[in-house]
A and B are shown apart, each in its own frame.
Chain A
């Protein structure tokens, strides 16, 4: 199968869905012909589809989302891009109070088929306002679905599904993933929301990892296997809906779980997954649940500081060894 980058996989999904469905359009800051998006995901789209369907907006995050909501409830399928995930805070009312609630609040009279794309993640020295991983915020808002692909294959398949969904989907990408390559079929395919991917099967311990952490977990598993520890890695791929069954089944097999996420530990995604495992699979656990996440700080700038807070291969290996003995 051909290998393409995560960036190109996203681009293909956008392009193909715009070709397939005239109601699909994209909007965001500097996504058009003059810049093509901060991470170049929308390269060439304005040239192909015109400035009407590939809309550069003013720096108005709240209204980017509000406009997407208004367009969605009147028959369009907007894909809004927020340049950096941290800036979603500026749009929080529109996301959490409007996009997420309109359908419910109006008794199911409308649907809000909006896709909101944004990159999370630290590791490129751009400090506290451009690096955080905030998926837990959105996981706490009823009404939003959440996809966070870790590979080019998942990026394309999940984005297509998100665009075809009739419900709002938060689509979280990771800055460090854009250049990575992987196999992506040329033909049309979608990946259902709520189906985890078992990245690697193993018997000794389950690692649940998301987004870029999937790759760090894979690297850690490689090292661990040399020491005779057999790791199973699960990438939930979507947080809402969450494939609880895949996680529970794995825990039933291994009896141990380490959850690796790049958000802050307190009230983070790992807390929710840990609670779910405690509720649904406690009797199968042979050791305490371990969480590897960021400490409760903003993302610092200086490289040694930044590297210190991001979960890495070492911290994952350490956590695994604490419960596999």
Chain B
């Protein structure tokens, strides 16, 4: 691994940003400031950051209902993400999308879809667009293990495979699709095994180890940029909280939760960076303090932002550009 020191520190910072952002979102929810629901990314930070650290600004990602982490990792601004979650006008989608539908096209974040598995064909389509336009961009497509039981997983990955599209399919296997444990709905242990069916590489990595995710993605992105087609990467991970805001996650055995909390990706990466002498405790504390104040600032921005005017509900239906004569 040939990662620059600065890059490693930046990855650590991004992971912390996601963790603190999610904690803040959870807190604001408790204060009745977040309408609807929240699917927190906390616990899965190593996946979004490990993948996106391989991407350029012009590369694309597609995301899911559990998508805040993807937005942050791809470079979207904390304040506008938080404003969207709060339903505010200054949110990325002017309050029309909310937590489950954030997009920031200016950084290649093509949006989160809350229909499980629906982003897979869209990612393949972005890959086809890249191929037809002849650029060397790539697409990273995030989805959960639950999505791998959807027809779109089969159709979308197969189409990307036969056309050798530059897409990296990233399955975040957090063991549970809502309350349904993986073993109840598939007879294989590794979703990556399904790659065989499409004739593409499938790799399973420790999704709580950001460097393992980085390395696997590095290979896959290289392959994609060289026109060799897609890869399916499965990242084994775990969410710290329930499926959504009100889910106490009683379906998860206590021992299992404790086991996974010990493998916390943020703490693990910090320990690793301390061992590598890239971080010191003082420096780590300084970074964390910076992150906390950035998240505070984002929350203040979001809380202080106005709601959209009710009649804005009627806007943004159609692109107004007239038919070119």
Contact of B159 among A58, A161, A167 (CB under 8 A): A58
* Known contacts A72-B125, A105-B96, A107-B97: A53-B323 contact under CB 8 Å: no
B115-146 CB contact bits vs A (8 Å, 1 = yes)? 10010111111111111110000000000000
- A23 and B105 alpha carbons, distance in the complex (Å): 19
Does A67 contact B315, Cβ atoms closer than 8 Å?
Answer: no
Does B121 contact A62, Cβ atoms closer than 8 Å?
Answer: yes
Q: Which residues of B contact A242 (CB under 8 A)?
A: none
Does B162 contact A58, Cβ atoms closer than 8 Å?
Answer: yes
One of B29-37, B87-95, B232-240, B272-280 contacting the partner: B87-95
- A294 and B315 alpha carbons, distance in the complex (Å): 36
* Known contacts A108-B94, A109-B92, A142-B317: A67-B111 contact under CB 8 Å: no
B224 adjacent to chain A (CB < 8 Å) = no
* Known contacts A58-B158, A62-B121, A67-B159: A75-B92 contact under CB 8 Å: no
B318 adjacent to chain A (CB < 8 Å) = yes
Q: How many A-B residue pairs have CB under 8 A?
A: 159
Does B118 contact A66, Cβ atoms closer than 8 Å?
Answer: yes
Interface centre among A23, A69, A72 (most CB of B within 10 A): A69
Does A66 contact B93, Cβ atoms closer than 8 Å?
Answer: no
One of B148-156, B185-193, B281-289, B295-303 contacting the partner: B148-156
Q: Which residues of A contact B254 (CB under 8 A)?
A: none
Q: Which residues of B contact A68 (CB under 8 A)?
A: 125
B103 adjacent to chain A (CB < 8 Å) = yes
Q: Give the distance to chain A from B36, nearest Cβ to Cβ, in Å.
A: 14
A93 adjacent to chain B (CB < 8 Å) = yes
Q: Give the distance to chain B from A161, nearest Cβ to Cβ, in Å.
A: 5
A25 adjacent to chain B (CB < 8 Å) = yes
Contact of B103 among A52, A67, A106 (CB under 8 A): A106
B262 adjacent to chain A (CB < 8 Å) = no
A111 adjacent to chain B (CB < 8 Å) = yes
A residues in contact (CB < 8 Å) with B: 23, 25, 52-53, 55, 57-58, 60, 62-63, 65-76, 78, 93-94, 97-98, 102-111, 113, 142-143, 145, 161, 164-167, 190, 192-193
- A71 and B125 alpha carbons, distance in the complex (Å): 5
- A71 and B123 alpha carbons, distance in the complex (Å): 9
Contact of B95 among A78, A107, A164, A192 (CB under 8 A): A107
Does A93 contact B122, Cβ atoms closer than 8 Å?
Answer: no
24 A-B pairs with C-beta separation under 8 A: A57-B159, A62-B152, A63-B121, A63-B158, A63-B159, A66-B155, A70-B125, A70-B128, A71-B125, A73-B125, A74-B125, A75-B133, A94-B118, A94-B121, A98-B115, A107-B91, A107-B93, A107-B94, A107-B95, A108-B94, A110-B111, A111-B321, A164-B323, A190-B323
Does B159 contact A60, Cβ atoms closer than 8 Å?
Answer: yes
Q: Give the distance to chain A from B157, nearest Cβ to Cβ, in Å.
A: 9
Q: Which residues of A contact B92 (CB under 8 A)?
A: 106-107, 109
Does A105 contact B324, Cβ atoms closer than 8 Å?
Answer: no
Does B115 contact A63, Cβ atoms closer than 8 Å?
Answer: no
B7 adjacent to chain A (CB < 8 Å) = no
Q: Which residues of B contact A74 (CB under 8 A)?
A: 60, 110, 125-126, 129-130
Does B155 contact A106, Cβ atoms closer than 8 Å?
Answer: no
Q: Which residues of A contact B130 (CB under 8 A)?
A: 74
Q: Which residues of A contact B101 (CB under 8 A)?
A: 105-106
Does B319 contact A167, Cβ atoms closer than 8 Å?
Answer: yes
B184 adjacent to chain A (CB < 8 Å) = no
Interface centre among B101, B103, B128, B317 (most CB of A within 10 A): B128
Q: Which residues of B contact A142 (CB under 8 A)?
A: 317
Q: Give the distance to chain B from A162, nearest Cβ to Cβ, in Å.
A: 9
Q: Which residues of B contact A107 (CB under 8 A)?
A: 91-97, 316
B113 adjacent to chain A (CB < 8 Å) = yes
- A304 and B73 alpha carbons, distance in the complex (Å): 63
Does B319 contact A66, Cβ atoms closer than 8 Å?
Answer: no
Does A105 contact B121, Cβ atoms closer than 8 Å?
Answer: no
Does A97 contact B321, Cβ atoms closer than 8 Å?
Answer: no
Does B132 contact A58, Cβ atoms closer than 8 Å?
Answer: no
Contact of B317 among A58, A110, A143 (CB under 8 A): A143
Does B103 contact A71, Cβ atoms closer than 8 Å?
Answer: no
* Known contacts A52-B132, A107-B93, A108-B316: A70-B323 contact under CB 8 Å: no
Does B118 contact A97, Cβ atoms closer than 8 Å?
Answer: yes
- A73 and B162 alpha carbons, distance in the complex (Å): 22
Query: Closest 5 interchain pairs by CB?
Result: A70-B125, A66-B121, A107-B93, A108-B316, A63-B155
- A55 and B155 alpha carbons, distance in the complex (Å): 15
Does B121 contact A70, Cβ atoms closer than 8 Å?
Answer: yes
Q: Which residue of B lies closest to A168 (CB)?
A: B318
- A57 and B159 alpha carbons, distance in the complex (Å): 8
- A71 and B104 alpha carbons, distance in the complex (Å): 17
Q: Which residues of B contact A23 (CB under 8 A)?
A: 132-133
Does A66 contact B152, Cβ atoms closer than 8 Å?
Answer: yes
* Known contacts A53-B132, A103-B316, A106-B101: A70-B152 contact under CB 8 Å: no
Does B132 contact A60, Cβ atoms closer than 8 Å?
Answer: no
Does A105 contact B111, Cβ atoms closer than 8 Å?
Answer: yes
- A178 and B158 alpha carbons, distance in the complex (Å): 33
Q: Give the distance to chain B from A69, nearest Cβ to Cβ, in Å.
A: 5
Contact of A65 among B91, B121, B123 (CB under 8 A): B121
Q: Which residue of A lies closest to B113 (CB)?
A: A98
Does B129 contact A71, Cβ atoms closer than 8 Å?
Answer: yes
Q: Which residues of A contact B151 (CB under 8 A)?
A: 62
